[in-house]
Structure 1
């Protein structure tokens, strides 16, 4: 099809993702999209249109990159959990490629048996797909790496946050050249341009065309925000997508068409069979644009899409600032403006509020669509120890220096200073960052418009509980702030591990640490000591292997300090990767639960192991792993509930409390799981004589009762109907009365 002078228009829309559509790819009329909703969708071009044929939802973390393989009979999926999943044409996983230590954000397949990947760990890697193994690693980048492999030139081109373009020999790994400061900001994507070279997209709002020798040929200027994505349409013709909520179509360096979207365009791809453009948008939709008039979407659908896009762009990320608002015509001037075509949109101000109007050609009048700055759609946040679970006006995703996305929830009327303080406290970063974060929140919300009508600042989690006690009929429930075991003696732990390693070495045991691995172990200890650097510190692949391959598999008699190391590591963000993936850390839960049920372990060891489970609630994947493997957890609780060790019983009470707190945020537990947990709590209440432990169990009952009226509430009501505490304690009596009142 000749696309040189053809205009693109909307053909199809798929509102299939519940969060932003982050990536999309097409090949041989097979299409795949991925999202931060932790799913991918597969589509096929059938009878002149795309149809979704599969919903793949086994992932445990965000999907950042997708690729249809060269044969068109399978897929590659890159996840925040650091893994590459190889899927067959139905979406079923056939294998997993492991090696990256950060989210996988970029793919380039150079032949049927070879894949190149880029990651937030600052590396590009080549994989042998026949063997499922890593062949070569390319280092020397800064954070997220985008890749392009060209087999016939034996060439790999990479770009990253260091703004440089790097050129390597695929066959040897040799770096050929570097173009320093190829862009003035992060390089987001590199796209192959046949017979020419490649196109690069950057946060500096530019696209640049390069030869494979690294010579700059053209610069494409027109976007007004970060350019995240680009692709080739035909010789001399390209398409790009941006945070300015548009795609732009280029003929050489001239922008010949722009198509607004209702949100950020994260990814674009081109179907080379029919030159369709497919986009992945932050509103959760995948859209197809075509030059074929027979496949044009109905006029009413196109009109609705254009209206939504226009209104969304008028809103912008923070609404119209006062100076832009002042430039708008007043609604009293409505009749002074003549529309030119049906559906034309125009913004007027009405009492300081921007309003969108659509032109009705037949009636020669403007029709109000709605307020541009109307209520912001709420977004749901899962909650953590500093920010309560619930709906928020904004959830800002921040890619920090550790290469992970961190969220800041914020409501109109909240105090930006307090939100910034909470964020710094949660991430363990310096308070010197507070002012920068406060300014960001003020700039990207309507705070500057609402200061005169501001709510009272939110208090910390403990103060919130006091306010709750004053203003709600329930004093103690719900309470969803997790408790952890954070104390550590890393020097003593290190000494004991090295002592045991010498014993294993003397036995010539295959799992003893060699000299280099001892250095890697010491690196892990040093990292865990520096709590204030948890947000950026990470172990590399070899350092992680010391823990995941060797230490965790030591003989049982040497495992006590290893379990304690696991407990401490569970509080570090990198531990989240252990429980990501298809099986949600099944191997580690087998080790943990096996240790708890082993008759060979004494109570001290079992108490340390139980504390690992408590601390797993600190990470998203850890919490999900406990949810997914609840049958193991329940079996462990049943084995331990009659244990007479006081310390172990205190840890068990803390675990049950954390399970109930997680249920406040995630009510997906099966009826069987809720029933089992509640029955165990009721059993433990009847025998508990420690006031602190008993209070935790009673609060756990309240949490379950509030969120599971049909399952937990009746069980608790019956189980506690004749209960009389064995402890005369004012708090216990108050909490018990409070619990009975909600039952």
Structure 2
């Protein structure tokens, strides 16, 4: 059967976070629901364009689902219905967005809403393990509750034989009579069942996290199972353009078109998760995805997007596909395990394991003595070293020296390129191998002699120790605050963007705004721009011939990027990017300006665009390895925290979340500022990913870090992050188990929940809230 080719028709941009659900209404209109707490109505304009004509607001948390409820007795013009993580359902007037009904009753997030067959009947499902059947004509009457599942009910609908079907994370589907009595339980899926759709008068379809689709009779007999997706399937919908055809989407970033039980077309999207899809009456496919966009795909050439738009879209798809299918060292990147594989202990000393980290593959070796996985290096495939070069840990160098430091111990490897400053290379070698600082001159002279360097950069040893000297600059610090030193755990006026002025506070009342779940991103705003400027000038005067020094005017313009509402020339952002190429030993003030600059929407877009952004995020992650300067580690994480100030930065950090959590887990020595930066980054990840399946990995990272935290403010932020995931995750039971089985954390929570120290009130309250959720 020949199926015409689907192509992009249009892209609807307006949401600032994931689009979790799409639906249709009358007159070819599209509804979308997003984690940005809004739903939107898109009205067709012309042949293929859509315009956002109404934005529906009112929920206090993520909007997870949306549907159109047709006209009924009480609401003759129909209603736009939304469900939210605030546990409620709202009904809006279609045209002006005025709230008409507010339904309460679910005890957890509402994850699906759909109309029944009878006018005014609405079916909802929730993470509270129930579905409810409401009659909006009489909203004062209690709904019929469909109760019997053992986990979240992800979807519910009415079949053509006047029975209800519900799909659950307990891997089952249940059929119910209209009075709420259970008819039967259908088993077959081996993982969470995510979506349902009516296929015909006698059949319906289900999709699940087991990457399969099943066709069932209305009486519960499984007629067929379809395979094609390579990951979780989130949504399924019948396709009116072909008889018995349907479409599906999921975590593999693809839409699949099915006909006669076969997957006949695949539509790849440049997004990790395609959360939802629906079909217009003309057969066009509408998708909502993790990149915050709604897209429409069509078979009709007259509705295809312009060639330039399609070309850009296809290029973005190819880039993402290349990243997921890249082969490194003979292994397909997408098939290798992520850093979560390192959470499992090795089976024998010396066992090796290949782990995917972003677009790279790392090799790790298990040490039985240390009870940990140690990174050996990058797996770079069969690529040989460049001519005249020596490869070390996956990189080419002019020299890789063997340095004997101690009798009887194996020599240490010292890689060096002629373009490097020998003093910087020596300082890096000392930091990496934890050697005494007095070795600096000896190691630098060793490099100069053995590399036979003819000339040295001017002032080559001028910045060997950036942490000493007059007018010492403390990375990330703010002007000294007047008054007494804040008590432990009390809000700091100088360095606390979480509890400081004009930010989230818990000092007055914990009932006005519960500590968990937290529902907005935090960032680091405080800074001493003059101190940063002075340090940049100092380092700028010492850089060698390999780097171009900046003029005083250029330095001033770069520092002004740190002002929140600055006006700037785009060329200045380019200069900042060049400055980020400074040696790591003098990089920290550049990172400090960068973390301030990315708060600006336009700068965020330039720093985290698709050309520069992915490599910049990788570079920041490279600064989080244990052998880097603590100041660079801390400020790199602050840049990642502030990246959440706008969508481009947020999307890139979320795309690299596995690498981020792995880097945090692998950090060794954590000073107080680094602890706060790490837990702040985990808190933002928790807010963004709490209701997604991989929230378990974020929770595991938080739990592993909590027992190492000594700073009370960092510990509090870790509690808020953990509590946010615990409150909102569909895998709550898994996370509860991980907390309960961690004796050290469990005991600390119990102790902190009973403290009477007024300076640590917020820790006490948050600990108690978490214990109540266990």
TM-score, normalization by structure 1: 0.49
Q: Which has the higher contact order (CA 8 A, sep 6+)?
A: 1
If each structure's helix is expressed as a fraction of its own residues, which one has the higher value? 1
TM-score, normalization by structure 2: 0.47
